[in-house]
Amino acid sequence: MAQRIDVKDLNIYYGDFKAVADVQMEIEPRSVTAFIGPSGCGKSTYLRTLNRMHEVIPGARVEGTVEMDGVDLYADSIDPVAVRRQVGMVFQRPNPFPTMSIAENVLAGVRLNNRRISKGDAQDLVEQSLRGANLWNEVKDRLARPGSGLSGGQQQRLCIARAIAVKPQVLLMDEPCSALDPISTLAIEDLISELKSDYTIVIVTHNMQQAARVSDRTAFFNLAGTGQPGRLVEIDDTATIFSSPRERATEDYISGRFG
């Protein structure tokens, strides 16, 4: 299921403002890549170009290519809705649909895609997705209760269950633990490590320890000053980035000297 991502010469704009410049990046399937860097350097913006969510903002556009297994997501023949199905996204704040039951939350993406499924298949998919998100044992006796009744960490795992229920090839996570307590954070990190065997995962994080714990590769982004575009400074094996990065700016950032 997992796919290789190949980004070439990517420039990302909000109207006239170039938010991110000249990104080149290859991401291997079945790996976790962490994006780190100071606030405002374009991590979220770049992440959203990987599933064509960026362009939903009026005036927002990209130049360059984003290939998944060799197919350019920005080619004219590509349907952005299909891309968003193939590339799931989990956000900073858990956002289950509050009035929907736990089970219906898991199925929400599948229903949006107009996929008709039998009751039995739906039940199987709910169980399989909740098991995949390490949440099944905690909620199996209350699937008909509202998703909003869960703790923050459980809600985030419910959102991950919803994302994987549509069987995406890639999972993008934008600071998925920033609203969670340390125990829930560890549960999500364990889950990411498990999901890696099936998906290509990209995670934005402000937490250096988290990047070091969960990711295989780390990409450091930075910006030269306000009004300047963010740039990818370097990407390498996570162990290398945290022990002997090539660039001085990376070392300064990971050692807490700025950002």
In the complex, the residues that contact ligand ADP under the rule CB under 6 A are: 14, 19, 37, 39-45, 57, 230
Shortest approach of ligand ADP to residue 50 CB, angstroms?
12
Select from ligand ADP, Mg ion, none the partner in contact with residue 40, using the beta carbon and a kind-dependent cut-off of 5 to 8 Å: ligand ADP
User: What is d(CA 3, CA 1) in angstroms, rounded to the nearest whole number?
Assistant: 7
Of 43 and 162, nearer to ligand ADP (C-beta) is: 43
Shortest approach of ligand ADP to residue 218 CB, angstroms?
15
CB 68 within 8 A of CB 4: yes
The single-letter code of the amino acid at 120 is: G
Region of residue 238 (phi > 0: left; psi between -120 and 50: alpha; otherwise: beta):
alpha
Kindly tell me which residue out of 44, 134, 215, 222 binds Mg ion, with binding defined by CB under 5 A.
44
CA atoms within 13 A on the CB side of 50: 35
Tally of CB atoms within 10 A around 121 = 12
Could you tell me which stretch among 41-49, 71-79, 104-112, 164-172 binds Mg ion (CB under 5 A)? 41-49
Of 19 and 166, nearer to ligand ADP (C-beta) is: 19
Nearest to 107 by CA among 166, 167, 37: 166
Tally of CB atoms within 10 A around 248 = 10
Shortest approach of ligand ADP to residue 130 CB, angstroms?
29
CA angle (188, 41, 239) in 5-degree steps: 50
User: What is d(CA 40, CA 43) in angstroms, rounded to the nearest whole number?
Assistant: 8
Q: Is 49 in the site for Mg ion (CB under 5 A)?
A: no
Shortest approach of Mg ion to residue 89 CB, angstroms?
13
Q: Is 205 in the site for Mg ion (CB under 5 A)?
A: no
Crossing angle (nearest 10°) for helices 119-132 and 152-165: 130
Of 137 and 226, nearer to Mg ion (C-beta) is: 226
Residue nearest Mg ion, CB atom distance: 44
Shortest approach of Mg ion to residue 20 CB, angstroms?
12
Shortest approach of Mg ion to residue 163 CB, angstroms?
18
Of 36 and 165, nearer to ligand ADP (C-beta) is: 36
# binding residues, Mg ion (CB under 5 A): 1
Select from ligand ADP, Mg ion, none the partner in contact with residue 172, using the beta carbon and a kind-dependent cut-off of 5 to 8 Å: none
Sequence-distant (6+) residues with CB within 8 A of 127 are 136, 140
Binding footprint of Mg ion on the chain (CB under 5 A):
44
